[in-house]
Structure 1
Amino acid sequence: MRAIGVNPWVWASPVDDEALAGLIPRIAAFGFDAVELPLEQPGDWDPARIRDLLDSHGLAAAAVCAVTPPGRDLVNTAPATVESTVAYLKTCVDKAAAVGAPCVGGPVYAAVGRTWRMTAAARTACYTDFRRALAPVADHAGERGVSIGVEALNRYETSVVNTVEQTLDLVDGLPPNVGIMIDTYHMNIEEADPYAALVTAGPRVKHVQVSGTHRGAPGADHFDWPRFFAALAVTGYGGAVCIESFTAQNETIATAASIWRPLAPSQDLLAQEGLAYLRTVIR
Structure 2
Amino acid sequence: MEGNMQQSLQPQQLLLQPLRQNRRHAKPSRAMTAPVRAGLVLPKNLIGIHSGVFVGDWKPQDAERAIKGAKEAGYDLIELNLSVPEEVDAGLTKELLDKYDLKAAGSLGLSQATDISSSDEEVRQAGIKLLTGAIEALNTAGGQHFVGVNFGAMDKYRKPLTAEQWKTCAKSLKEVAKKAADYGINYGLEVVNRYETNILNTSYQARALIDDVGMDNVTIHLDTYHMNIEENSMEQAIKDAEDKLGYIHIGESHRGYLGTGSVNFEGLFRALAETGYEGPLTFESFSSVVVSPSLSTTLCVWRDLWEDPDDLAIKAHKFVESNWAAAYQLYARPKAWTKPT
Which of 101, 106, 114 pairs up with 2:143?
101
Cα deviation, residue 228, structure 1: 0.8
More helix by share: 1
1:167 aligns with 2:206: yes
Cα deviation, residue 53, structure 1: 0.6
Contact in 1 for aligned 2:115/2:153 (Cα 8 Å):
yes
CA RMSD of the aligned region, Å?
A: 1.8
TM-score norm. by structure 1 comes to 0.92
Which of 220, 229, 238 pairs up with 1:180?
220
Contact in 2 for aligned 1:181/1:209 (Cα 8 Å):
yes
Paired residue secondary structure (1:264): coil
Structure 1 residues 99-178: aligned runs within 5 Å? 99-118=141-160, 123-174=162-213, 175-178=215-218
Cα deviation, residue 8, structure 1: 1.2
Structure 1 residues 183-198: aligned runs within 5 Å? 183-198=223-238
Separation (CA, whole Å) in 1 of partners of 2:93 and 2:253: 31
Paired residue secondary structure (2:110): coil
Separation (CA, whole Å) in 2 of partners of 1:87 and 1:102: 19
Residue 7 of structure 1: aligned partner = 50
77 and 247 in structure 1: CA distance in 2 versus 1, 3 angstrom threshold? farther
257 and 125 in structure 1: CA distance in 2 versus 1, 3 angstrom threshold? same
What letter corresponds to residue 142 of structure 1 in structure 2? A
Contact in 2 for aligned 1:264/1:270 (Cα 8 Å):
yes
Separation (CA, whole Å) in 1 of partners of 2:81 and 2:140: 14
Contact in 1 for aligned 2:234/2:267 (Cα 8 Å):
no
Cα deviation, residue 21, structure 1: 1.8
251 and 108 in structure 1: CA distance in 2 versus 1, 3 angstrom threshold? closer
Q: Percent identity?
A: 27
Structure 1 residues 32-47: aligned runs within 5 Å? 32-47=75-90
Cα deviation, residue 16, structure 1: 4.1
Residue 253 of structure 2: aligned partner = 213
Runs of 4 or more, structure 1, over 4 Å off, are none
> For each residue in 1:215-247, what CA deviation from the matched residue of structure 2 results, as whole angstroms up to 9, or x when unmatched?
113222232223212212344431221111123
Q: Which has the higher contact order (CA 8 A, sep 6+)?
A: 2
Separation (CA, whole Å) in 2 of partners of 1:103 and 1:73: 21
Residue 225 of structure 1: aligned partner = 265
> Which structure has the larger Rg?
2
Separation (CA, whole Å) in 1 of partners of 2:260 and 2:101: 28
Q: Where do 5+ consecutive residues of structure 1 fail to align?
A: none
Separation (CA, whole Å) in 1 of partners of 2:229 and 2:115: 24
Separation (CA, whole Å) in 2 of partners of 1:257 and 1:97: 26
